[in-house]
């Protein structure tokens, strides 16, 4: 199953230009208007109520006029509010406006004060992917009026006010119930504030074969990444075949973080899991997961193991020695939490990461990413895709920049966005669980990039499953997520035929 491509605004513009140059039949604007009109009909709750279309000053407004003309010809009661200047419209947009007039349409002079009673749907055709500055004045007031109606909004291409490349709110933004996006997915729909403003997203490619026109750097993760990561287990299988994970961390007062990472690794299929604890005196066995093998940090067996460094590690001198030892191993290393902070704080350690010949995976949250890049957290969040790609290039590592729409990036420039997960996962220990999941997939033989993509997707999907089980987002814990990760993983492996049902695995 191919992962859906994601394109930047510049890429979409290039695709549009190439398509228009060789287009026969309906223009892209005409195709977009028809697709949006059909989607508006599909999402409109009550056919007897009217539809208000708000058309902006550019081509997004032209799309809106096309939608209005189609709906009026189908005998819907349609009103159009035009927030622009006819003399500044493009040729296609003027043609769309004339179609609206030919259908008997007119424009309203102002936003209706009784909009919430008159309409069942508002179509947002104010601003599309070209918005480059914060909205203010008349447009900000118009968006406030639209949002204030409480009516469902269908946004055309992107909700007005959302930066199509970053997901940032440009001053203010439409909060849509539905978004129909054209040609391809855009990163701003899928990360930062985009998902809060887009509602349900429908893609219409406008009958273009976009990947043949421009190779995408970005893609959207889906459940198919699980099958990419793990091969079927034969019946003749033992724990050595499932690999070893060594988790290094667990300083005084933070041993729980290492336990969570270890439990996640074990329950997602690793054959053996060792915990190398900086506070080895506090615990000799995990009573909830006695299969975990606890050691003093310096005694953890790192040979022939995937090494996960950072959960509950702290930033002590002992922690730095432990990190440097791990970086010196010819084994995959997953860096999280204070391991990342130690890398950011010491240029020599950072150089060792970049110089490693074995693969390094890093899973920072935005504040950690900022420290690693020498930037403020707000700068990282301003363009999450760019930040993830910069980290991958700087450290020659595979990166998972956590957050709403986690970004996975590789040093060669490709990137992925994850759609799973929810805000109830904003609780302690979630990052430790992700570290353990990714390390477990690596130990079982997944290629590093596949392990990171599958781990990120699985982590979010497990959070979604935990929320569904408890009928709500609030209170989702890392421990619950780990249990659900095992359920979701097995379910998808069975679906893709990548699991076994019996056999002696006790050796």
Tokens 């035009």 — which residue?
82
Domain shared by 167 and 315, yes or no: no
Q: Which of 186, 218, 250 is the endpoint of a domain?
A: 218
Domain shared by 363 and 318, yes or no: yes
CATH code for the domain in which residue 131 is found: 3.40.50.10260
Quick check: is 413 in a domain?
A: yes
Q: Which of 218, 246, 271 is the endpoint of a domain?
A: 218
Give the Å distances, CA to CA, from 449 to 138, 245, 446, 456.
47, 17, 8, 11
Tokens of 278: 């900086």
Note the pLDDT of residue 500: 40
Domain shared by 111 and 33, yes or no: yes
Quick check: is 502 in a domain?
A: no
Domain shared by 211 and 302, yes or no: no
Domain shared by 319 and 398, yes or no: yes
Number of domains present in the structure of the chain? 2
Residue 119 and residue 127 in contact, taking contact as beta carbons nearer than 8 Å: no
Domain shared by 286 and 389, yes or no: yes
Structural domain containing residue 423: 224-495
Domain shared by 416 and 365, yes or no: yes
Closest CA to 221 of 473, 495, 5: 5
Quick check: is 411 in a domain?
A: yes
Domain shared by 382 and 250, yes or no: yes
pLDDT in single tens digits along all 507 residues of the chain: 589 999 999 999 999 999 987 776 689 999 999 999 999 999 997 666 799 999 999 999 999 999 999 999 999 999 999 999 999 899 999 999 999 999 999 999 999 999 999 999 999 999 999 898 999 999 999 999 999 999 999 999 999 999 999 999 999 999 999 999 999 999 999 999 999 999 999 999 999 999 999 999 999 999 999 999 998 899 999 999 999 999 999 999 999 999 999 999 999 999 999 999 999 998 899 999 999 999 999 999 999 999 999 999 999 999 999 999 999 999 999 999 999 999 999 999 999 999 999 999 999 999 999 999 999 999 999 999 999 999 999 999 999 999 999 999 999 999 999 999 999 999 999 999 999 999 999 999 999 999 999 999 999 999 999 999 999 999 999 999 999 999 999 999 988 764 444 333 333
Quick check: is 503 in a domain?
A: no
Quick check: is 450 in a domain?
A: yes
Quick check: is 505 in a domain?
A: no
CB proximity list for 267: less than 8 A, separation 6 or greater? 482, 483, 485, 486
Domain shared by 195 and 297, yes or no: no
Please state whether 186 falls in left (phi above 0), alpha (psi between -120 and 50) or beta.
Answer: beta
CB proximity list for 342: less than 8 A, separation 6 or greater? 313, 315, 319, 320, 323, 349
Domain shared by 47 and 78, yes or no: yes
Q: Which of 218, 245, 266 is the endpoint of a domain?
A: 218
Note the pLDDT of residue 21: 79
Domain shared by 286 and 242, yes or no: yes
Q: Edge-to-edge, what's the strand order for the sheet holding 244-249?
A: 5-6, 218-220, 415-417, 407-409, 398-401, 360-362, 333-335, 306-309, 244-249, 272-277, 293-296
Q: Is 447 exposed, middle or buried (0-12, 13-18, 19+ CB in 10 A)?
A: middle
d(CA 473, CA 480): 12
Tokens of 44: 């409109």
d(CA 398, CA 391): 9
Quick check: is 420 in a domain?
A: yes
Domain shared by 353 and 411, yes or no: yes
Quick check: is 267 in a domain?
A: yes
Q: Considering just the CA atoms, what is the radius of gyration of the chain in Å?
A: 26
CATH code for the domain in which residue 433 is found: 3.40.1190.20
Note the pLDDT of residue 507: 35
């Amino acid at each position: 199953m191919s992962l859906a491509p994601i394109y930047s605004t510049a890429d979409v513009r290039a695709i549009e230009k190439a398509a228009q140059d060789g287009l026969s039949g309906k223009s892209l604007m005409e195709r977009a208007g028809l697709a949006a009109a059909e989607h508006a009909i599909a999402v409109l709750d009550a056919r007897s109520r009217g539809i208000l279309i708000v058309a902006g000053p550019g081509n997004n407004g032209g799309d809106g006029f096309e939608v209005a003309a189609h709906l009026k010809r189908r005998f819907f009661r349609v009103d159009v509010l035009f927030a622009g200047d006819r003399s500044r419209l493009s040729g296609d947009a003027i043609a769309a406006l004339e179609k609206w007039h030919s259908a008997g349409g007119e424009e309203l002079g102002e936003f209706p004060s009784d909009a919430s009673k008159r309409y069942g749907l508002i179509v947002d055709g104010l601003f599309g992917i070209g918005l480059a500055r914060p909205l203010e004045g008349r447009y900000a007031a118009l968006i406030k009026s639209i949002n204030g109606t409480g009516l469902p909004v269908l946004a055309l291409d992107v909700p007005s006010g959302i930066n199509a490349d970053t997901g940032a709110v440009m001053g203010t933004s439409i909060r849509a119930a539905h978004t129909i996006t054209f040609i391809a997915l855009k990163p701003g729909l899928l990360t930062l504030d985009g998902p809060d403003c887009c509602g349900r997203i429908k893609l219409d490619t406008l009958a273009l074969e976009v990947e043949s026109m421009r190779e995408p750097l970005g893609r959207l993760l889906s459940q198919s990444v699980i099958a990419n990561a793990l091969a079927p287990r034969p019946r003749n299988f033992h724990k050595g075949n499932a690999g070893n994970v060594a988790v290094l961390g667990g300083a005084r007062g933070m041993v729980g973080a290492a336990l969570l990472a270890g439990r996640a690794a074990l329950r997602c299929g690793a054959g053996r899991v060792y915990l190398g604890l900086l506070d080895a005196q506090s615990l000799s066995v995990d009573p909830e997961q006695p299969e975990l093998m606890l050691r003093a940090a310096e005694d953890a067996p790192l040979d022939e193991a995937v090494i996960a460094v950072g959960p509950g590690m702290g930033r002590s001198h002992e922690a730095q020695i432990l990190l440097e030892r791990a970086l010196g191993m010819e084994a995959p290393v997953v860096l999280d939490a204070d391991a990342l902070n130690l890398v950011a704080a010491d240029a020599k350690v950072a150089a060792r990461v970049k110089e490693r010949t074995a693969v390094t995976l890093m899973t920072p949250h935005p504040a950690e990413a900022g420290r690693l890049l020498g930037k403020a957290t707000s700068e990282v969040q301003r363009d999450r895709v760019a930040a993830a790609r910069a980290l991958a290039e700087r450290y020659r590592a595979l990166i998972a920049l956590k957050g709403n729409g986690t970004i996975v990036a590789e040093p060669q420039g490709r990137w992925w966005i994850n759609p799973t997960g929810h805000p109830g996962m904003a609780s302690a220990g979630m990052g430790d669980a992700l570290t353990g999941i990714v390390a477990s997939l690596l130990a079982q033989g997944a290629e590093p990039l596949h392990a990171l993509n599958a781990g990120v997707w699985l982590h979010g999907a497990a959070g979604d499953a935990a929320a569904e089980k408890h009928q709500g987002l609030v209170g989702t814990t890392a421990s619950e997520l780990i249990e659900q990760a095992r359920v979701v993983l097995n379910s998808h492996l069975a679906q893709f035929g990548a699991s076994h049902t019996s056999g002696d695995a006790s050796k």
